[in-house]
Structure 1
Amino acid sequence: MIHAASIIAAAASSDDENGFHAPSIWEFFPDIVLFEGTPFAINRIHLIQILVTVVLVLILWLGTRKMKLIPGRGQSIVEMGFDFVRVNIAHDLLGRKDGNRFLPILTTLFFMILFMNLTGVIPGLNIAGTSIIAMPLLLAVVAYVTFIYAGLKKSPKGFIKNSLFPSGVPWPIYFLVTPLEFISTFIIRPVTLTLRLLMNMMVGHLMLVLFFSATWFFFFHAGGFFPILGVGTLAAGFAYTIFELLVAFLQAYVFTILTAVYIQLAVADEH
């Protein structure tokens, strides 16, 4: 309810001449709040990203600083999160040895994305830290570099060769297969990781703003029977907020599990 009220209040403050103003791409280019005119200019979304990073580090530090054999409530919650990534992603896809080896990076990716995504439905923040391309791109680069490192570490001489020249293919076909493998393996993967996360969080924010802005307009400006429609858009806004919570988790899970899949392909025996 507080989240809905904060978005509706924002819609009211930007509602010129009692007209309805749909959300636009400029939602993701807010005004600079610090260091304007410098390469270090910071806007509201950047502040959210910094806040999430600090909060995440603080939570993990507080939850693990005094580890006990019989864990307390905070330690139990943190351990449950760690166990989810370790059991359902790392060990399930990479096995125990490689899973433990890459567990720190997979855990970092999962919790960073999850917390950044959740700011899209937190009152007062109302936009995901992953809704501008810098953060999804950075995380995709981390996943990509980890994938390359894993392959080169496993097979320094054979990784690139086996990736571009799969065995069992007649040599004339390599003229077709090799460019496709290069594009698919070394270009499409980081691009799709970036865009999948970015677009889901952008669309989620725009839909929430649309629902609650329409609610404000129908209730207070449209008149006639339109408030009835406002009840519908308000209900849809609440329903979509719950859906966004699910999307926030799923996007973190999908990004992390795809990273693990790429690592698994890199360390496979044929490489």
Structure 2
Amino acid sequence: MVTIDDYRAPGPDIFVFPPIIDGGPFWFTKPVLLAVACAGLVIAFCWAAFAKPKIVPRGVQNAGEYVYFFVREQIAKPFLGADTDRWMGLLFTLFLLILTWNLVGLVPFIQFPASSYIAFPGVLAVAVLILKVYLGVKHQGFTGYLKNMSVPPGLPKWALGIYAPMELAHQFLFSWATHAIRVCANMFAGHMLLAFFSSVGFWFLVEKLSPLGAPIGLLGVVMTILLTAFELFIMILQAYLFTMLSAMYIAGGLRAEH
């Protein structure tokens, strides 16, 4: 008789991939291919939507303008104000790229979110951090930028030695970590949950079907469906949050944060 003890849940090894080409570069794996392919899809989408825009948008242009308007009004404008349009190219691209990296985790036969690898959102977060520091030094001066970000108005002098180092660590280290890890951790956890419940359904309904195991398998299928819908929401939300933080950091470079 097959028991639940025979089942082995998927583990972190589902994030480990061999090179796509035998004997080829060790780094050229499925996640790398997906990340590059998603970037190509974003370029193709933008080209199809905006290369030859019509007065009355239709099809891909209509979808592109809808997403562009959403990013502009709901993400960029609350932080950047009059500078919004200047940075929309970057923010619009970031939103589409993170969203595409996330959504491939739900595509049949692919089913792996590229953004669950910290390297990919990490590189984007580093680029945003470098841009933030560059803009801060350019618009506020080196000394003024450090002072504006680490010394809030009214801070007592005795607290400066405590607060300023903590704030600088937050600005240059923790802000990057939370920017990158937030999306990565959510995609990692979501992929693990979907892999677990889908494997439960397959094992107890297909691989080892039995009267006692069938209810467990059905539960796995139902949870997979529910979690897929929830994960879709999380994927969109994480793209939104990553782009929103990018807009906030850029605004912090353009203008004093305190």
- Quick check: TM above 0.5? yes
Partner of 1:233 in structure 2?
A: 220
Partner of 1:243 in structure 2?
A: 230
Structure 1 residue 37: Cα displacement: 6.0
Check conservation: 2:140, 2:255, Cα contact below 8 A.
no
Structure 1 residue corresponding to 2:205, chosen from 219, 230, 233: 219
TM-score if structure 1 supplies the norm length? 0.87
Check conservation: 2:149, 2:256, Cα contact below 8 A.
no
Gaps of 5+ in 2: none
Structure 1 residue 42: Cα displacement: 0.7
Check conservation: 1:35, 1:42, Cα contact below 8 A.
no
Partner of 1:12 in structure 2?
A: none
Aligned pairs, number = 252
Check conservation: 2:42, 2:93, Cα contact below 8 A.
no
Check conservation: 2:118, 2:184, Cα contact below 8 A.
yes
Amino acid at match of 2:186: N
Partner of 2:9 in structure 1?
A: 22
TM-score if structure 2 supplies the norm length? 0.91
Structure 1 residue corresponding to 2:126, chosen from 141, 152, 159: 141
Counterparts in 2 of 1:267 and 1:41: CA distance versus 1, 3 Å: closer
Counterparts in 2 of 1:164 and 1:35: CA distance versus 1, 3 Å: farther
Check conservation: 2:103, 2:113, Cα contact below 8 A.
yes
Report % sequence identity: 31
Post-superposition CA distance 1:204-237 (Å, at most 9, x none): 1111110010111211316232201211110110
Gaps of 5+ in 1: 1-17
Bigger shift: 242-251 or 83-92? 83-92
Partner of 1:4 in structure 2?
A: none
Structure 1 residue 169: Cα displacement: 1.5
Task: Write the mapping of 1:1-271 to structure 2, written as runs, cut at 5 A.
Answer: 19-34=6-21, 36=23, 38=25, 41-95=27-81, 97-157=82-142, 158-220=144-206, 221=208, 223-269=210-256
What is the CA–CA distance in structure 1 between the aligned matches of 2:187 and 2:230, rounded to whole Å? 12
What is the CA–CA distance in structure 2 between the aligned matches of 1:77 and 1:89, rounded to whole Å? 17
Amino acid at match of 1:145: I
Runs of 4+, deviation exceeding 4 Å = none
Structure 1 residue 263: Cα displacement: 2.3
Post-superposition CA distance 1:227-256 (Å, at most 9, x none): 012111101101111111111100000111
What is the CA–CA distance in structure 2 between the aligned matches of 1:71 and 1:103, rounded to whole Å? 19
Counterparts in 2 of 1:188 and 1:237: CA distance versus 1, 3 Å: same
SS state of the match for residue 20, structure 2? strand
What is the CA–CA distance in structure 2 between the aligned matches of 1:85 and 1:150, rounded to whole Å? 21
